[in-house]
């Protein structure tokens, strides 16, 4: 069985071949599917990342959350401790570019406690249909999810679904996958 690092590298190489127009179209289709989900509709506060290519784009999702009156929070990571916390992100807020090219909130943005986040949209590279995922390798989300009680889901392309890995004891699954064109 291939290692997580090998699997991660293979799927990212495949996704990186996508052209910009296709990427935007596919991201929008997945966002539209998300908006139909009860877990999205019922959430008043969401946690979400500012995605980078080839991750499914999140800017349209964030804008829709604001339009729907939801509170949006984005993660601030702490590389030394491999931990993160979510800070409120409002329209027009400035972001700073951090390690690995991630855009994160400024330290002046209010921290949102885990107990106040209804829905966490968890990024990933590969997914099993039971919700287990291979992330980007830092373990930030597995640590954060340990005592998180709200709803969790991940957005993914069909080619990100695999059976090629077994979860490790520290891995925590998301409750739902929103898979492109997998309308239920």
Statement: 4-179 belongs to CATH 3.40.50.10420:
yes
150 marked among binding-site residues: no
pLDDT tens-digit map of 81-101: 878 899 999 998 988 888 767
141 marked among binding-site residues: yes
124 marked among binding-site residues: no
pLDDT tens-digit map of 117-155: 999 999 998 899 999 988 877 778 888 888 999 999 999
Q: What mean pLDDT is predicted for residues 153-165? A: 90
Say if pTM beats, i.e. exceeds, 0.75: yes
Strands 103-105, 95-97: pairing is antiparallel
Could you tell me the pLDDT band of residue 183, with boundaries at 50, 70 and 90? low
Torsion of CA 29, 30, 32, 36, to 10 degrees: 140
138 marked among binding-site residues: yes
DSSP secondary-structure letter at 161?
A: B
Cis peptide preceding 54, ω within 30 of 0: yes
140 marked among binding-site residues: yes
pLDDT tens-digit map of 20-70: 899 899 999 999 999 999 999 999 999 999 988 888 889 999 999 999 999
pLDDT at 184: 44
116 marked among binding-site residues: no
86 marked among binding-site residues: no
4 marked among binding-site residues: yes
DSSP-H helix ranges across the chain: 4-15, 20-35, 38-42, 59-67, 140-145
134 marked among binding-site residues: yes
8 marked among binding-site residues: yes
6 marked among binding-site residues: yes
Nearest to 3 by CA among 173, 169, 140, 166: 166
Tell how far CA 81 is from the center of its chain: 20
5 marked among binding-site residues: yes
Helix (H, G, I), strand (E, B) or coil at 67: helix
């Amino acid at each position: 069985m291939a290692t997580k690092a090998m699997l991660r590298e293979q799927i990212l190489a495949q996704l990186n071949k996508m052209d910009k127009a296709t990427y935007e179209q596919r991201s929008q289709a997945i966002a539209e599917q998300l908006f139909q989900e009860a877990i999205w509709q019922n959430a008043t506060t969401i946690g979400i990342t500012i995605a980078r290519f080839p991750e499914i784009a999140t800017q349209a999702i964030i804008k829709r959350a604001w339009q729907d009156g939801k509170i949006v929070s984005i993660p601030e990571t702490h590389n030394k401790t491999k931990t993160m916390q979510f800070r409120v992100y409002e329209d027009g807020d400035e972001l700073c570019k951090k390690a690995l090219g991630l855009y994160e909130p400024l330290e002046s943005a209010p921290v949102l406690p885990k107990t106040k986040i209804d829905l966490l949209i968890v990024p990933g590279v590969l997914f099993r249909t039971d919700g287990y995922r291979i992330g980007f390798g830092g373990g930030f989300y597995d640590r954060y999810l340990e005592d998180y009680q709200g709803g969790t889901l991940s957005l993914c392309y069909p080619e990100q679904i695999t059976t090629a890995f077994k979860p490790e004891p520290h891995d925590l699954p998301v409750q739902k996958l929103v898979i492109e064109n997998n309308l239920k």
